[in-house]
A and B are shown apart, each in its own frame.
Chain A
Amino acid sequence: MNPVVKIILQRLALGLLTLFIVSIVIFTAVNMLPGDFAQAILGQGASPEAVEAIRRDLGLDQPPVTRYLQWLGDALRGDLGNSFAQANFSSFVGEGSGGARVTVAQQIAPRFANTMFLAGVTAAIAVPFAVTLGVLAALYRNSAFDKAANVATLTSISSPEFFLAYVLILFLAVLNPVLPSLSNIYADMGFGERLVKTLLPALTLTLVVTAHMMRMTRAAIINLLASPYIEMARLKGIGPMRVIVKHALPNALAPIINVIALNLAYLITGVVVVEVVFVYPGIGQLFVDSVKIRDIPVVQACCLIFAAAYILLNLTADILSIATNPRLRQPK
């Protein structure tokens, strides 16, 4: 068997195991939080009878282990269930007149698509920007440009996301109204308008993720510049830019790809704050809302997506590092 295929299969199997463990941890953690869905949704109206009724309707009166096994059984068949909020809503209506129930998968799908769109736009801006900046910083290392780039990116990564968001809003939406501060995209919106509305959150996230990728690029390249083959290239009389892009960069790709993959995973799982500030209807806000009301089916599904994103992106990164390294591609 091709060693790469073997690695992929191995990692996917390990990934499934990880997902299983994640689902147990999340289920336990949400159950350990004070209050449950019935109490959270009823708020001030949580009379013991009403709480009891909702718990009974949703099966929350069953012991946690039974509930988890039930959920797991359904999930293995590809059914992530109905969110508690939706199920509770149907029982409001009484039997038979519920209309179409929305499943967790249907609820998450459009939000996830929005999150992927934001992550995609951000990656399209941030990855070329960060790598270029890193290459330039390596080329002009220890110059004023290198120091300025380092200070600027480190400042932006050290600031809280919401602060960066407000600074961008101030400069790009309030003082110079060129971009909208609300990113409320919706289904039947044209691509152009959607892109314009997504730009501010994408720029904010770019500022957050650039430093990491840029510094890794710079460090990986500088690390190689001391190697004999680079010295050889220089002695041949090749210009410094060509040395870096043609000779150093291909060998530095593995660590850079790893860092890019980590940051892409962050763009999918960690952008709640930016979503809230820009009112972007992504999966993060749905996740936080669901944790707040202890809507376990939605929380579970979101966590599985987040975990899967990390697993798949790491796997992709490993495969790409193998693909870019002939020594790993053809093991002896």
Chain B
Amino acid sequence: MVRISRRGLLTSGAAAGVLAASGLPLRAQAKRGGRLVVGLNGANTSDSWDARTHSDIFMNAAGLGTVYDALTEVAADGSLKGELATDWEASSDAKTWTFNLRQGVTFHNGKPFGADDVIESLKMHVGEGVKSAAQPIVSAISEMKKVTDHQVQFVLEQGNADFPYLLSDYHLLMYPAGQIEESIANGIGTGLYKVVSFDPGVRFVGERVDSHYKDGEAGWFDEVEFIAINDITARMNALLTGQVDVITDIDFKTESLLKANPQTSIFEVTGNQHFTFPMLTDVAPFDDVNVRRALKYAVNRQELVDKILLGHGAVGNDHPIGPANQYYFDDLEQTSYDPDQAKFYLKEAGMEGLSVDLSVSNAAFTGATDAAQLYQASAKAAGITINLVQEPADGYWSNVWLKKPWCAAYWSGRPTEDLMFSSAYETGVPWNDTHWDQPRFQELLVKGRTEFDTDKRREIYHEMQKILNEDGGAVIPMYANFVGAKTNKVAHPETIGNVYKVDNARLTERWWMA
């Protein structure tokens, strides 16, 4: 099987040439019809159509991907396009944003979509006692104004050049104004499929609406069914016995069975999801940059990718920006396993024979304990003793992460550089899991927010990645791919999205029956 990542495809002229010569336009075979059955994990009995509570792939694929729409959409190639908004413009300080809304769109109950729906839907995320994960995005808006029925204006407290990107968030779905309660109860959105039945934590069935603004571009199935299969072996079985057409998150250990079966194939993309070992940089010995650098040189990244991810990933470079980000610094010099360099930096720090504790549990990410053991072995060659502290999986995120000086963690990544940095690397934010504070980095972070010039932003974000690579408090050894499997009955476009699982959770829109 030939696997070509988006980046690989773009940078390899040969592959691009082949594609061009074959004369295959991307949607050559896409056609209407058929019933898609998907086996997904991440389902809960407490699931509902309230996007404020959405957090895992089952409801993301059903909500954002199938029944509802957001204002903007991240296309499979990573570019931003309008979904319920057609276009937008900003004032030069990136504080005032005007969005033009799509005309002639109706909700599944016939109500036309307009500016009031946008304002009411966004207001769901702020207010007394509301705990929406999208609250920081919406509370940054100081004023929402309906200009016409199909135009809204947002005034932000601080300029943010990425604002339209943030509106593609899977929490920020558009509900019908005045009927939000009913919409949450029955799943009434503007998406390509309307709800036929929904049994939380068990099953969802959607039926294609008769006419939709995406007709001809997306939404090829007549009907879609999601089955909640949280158990990984049961998911693999369901695919191998042909009871579902697509599954999320395959079991790498039995991957060979999928490969041996001519009816099934694997699809995967490298995105922003990364596994980390964050150190608290205000705690000795991690307050010494030389110790941090020594530890970065002491991990065999390729070995981790090969043995923990079984090849389904890519080596990381100690910064959280991934290939799915716009300004990913591809050419940044790769920090790789080098015991001699590690010894050199230890000597600089005056800490030869360093001995440190690393707190791990598989709650941090699948295989975290094994990864830490490999790290322990590779660091030994550099003269560093890593004592593994096995922590209970229960309460890991409350009692270990952000508390222990060095532990394991994961980040699913963020669509924009600014959002990633301001979630985990800005001074004083609650999730700053390295307690890291570097003046130049913080200065660039603020500067990048209001910069519209693409070249200047690239410069800013590249420098920030470089600073993190050299000085940052997190060892980030690997990016984990989004991997799924499908039968030959289903086909997908050449490029699939790498922001989130199964084509950015939009497979019901973009895929079709082969």
Contact = CB atoms under 8 A, between A and B. Distances in A.
A279 B247 CA distance: 14
Interface stretch (A15-23, A36-44, A122-130, A208-216): A36-44
A131 interface: no
Contacts of B398: 35, 39, 42, 46, 51
B131 A53 contact: yes
B132 A180 contact: no
Interface in B144-187: 180-181, 184-185
Interface in B223-258: 227-231, 233-234, 237-238, 240-244
A192 interface: no
Interface stretch (A85-93, A232-240, A256-264): A85-93
Interface in A179-201: 180-182, 184, 186-188
B262 interface: no
17 contacts: A34-B395, A45-B133, A85-B44, A85-B45, A94-B127, A94-B129, A94-B130, A95-B129, A182-B237, A182-B238, A184-B203, A184-B229, A186-B202, A188-B197, A277-B233, A279-B229, A279-B231
A169 B241 contact: yes
Contact of B128 (A33, A34, A95, A100): A95
B52 interface: yes
A43 B203 CA distance: 25
A95 B127 CA distance: 10
A35 B394 contact: yes
A225 to B, nearest CB: 46
B131 A34 contact: no
A97 B132 CA distance: 15
Residue of B185, B237, B392, B394 most packed against chain A (CB within 10 A): B237
Nearest to B131: A92
B50 A289 contact: no
A28 interface: no
B397 interface: yes
A134 B69 CA distance: 61
B45 A44 contact: no
B185 A100 contact: yes
Contacts of B180: 97
Interface residues of A, number: 46
A86 B46 contact: yes
A99 interface: yes
A35 B131 contact: no
A177 interface: yes
Contact of A182 (B48, B197, B244): B244
Residue of A50, A83, A182 most packed against chain B (CB within 10 A): A182
A177 B241 contact: yes
Given A44-B401, A279-B227, A174 B241 contact: yes
A44 B244 contact: no
Contacts of A95: 128-129
- Size bracket, chain B contacts: 35 or more
Given A99-B181, A184-B227, A281 B241 contact: no
Contact of A46 (B133, B228, B397): B397
Given A91-B131, A180-B241, A181-B238, A276 B185 contact: no
Contacts of A174: 237, 240-241
Contacts of A89: 46, 48, 50, 53
Given A35-B399, A278-B234, 17 more contacts: A33-B394, A34-B394, A44-B401, A45-B133, A46-B398, A92-B50, A92-B52, A92-B130, A93-B130, A94-B130, A180-B243, A182-B237, A182-B238, A184-B227, A186-B203, A187-B199, A289-B45
A201 to B, nearest CB: 11
A173 B238 CA distance: 10
A6 to B, nearest CB: 42
A184 B50 contact: no
A251 interface: no
B350 interface: no
A320 B184 CA distance: 51
Given A92-B132, A279-B227, A97 B241 contact: no
B202 A281 contact: yes
Contacts of A281: 199, 201-202
A220 B133 CA distance: 63
A299 to B, nearest CB: 13
Nearest to B199: A186
Given A51-B398, A94-B128, A97-B181, A279 B238 contact: yes
Contact of A99 (B128, B184, B392, B410): B184
B430 interface: yes
A279 B39 CA distance: 11
Residue of A40, A92, A100, A277 most packed against chain B (CB within 10 A): A92
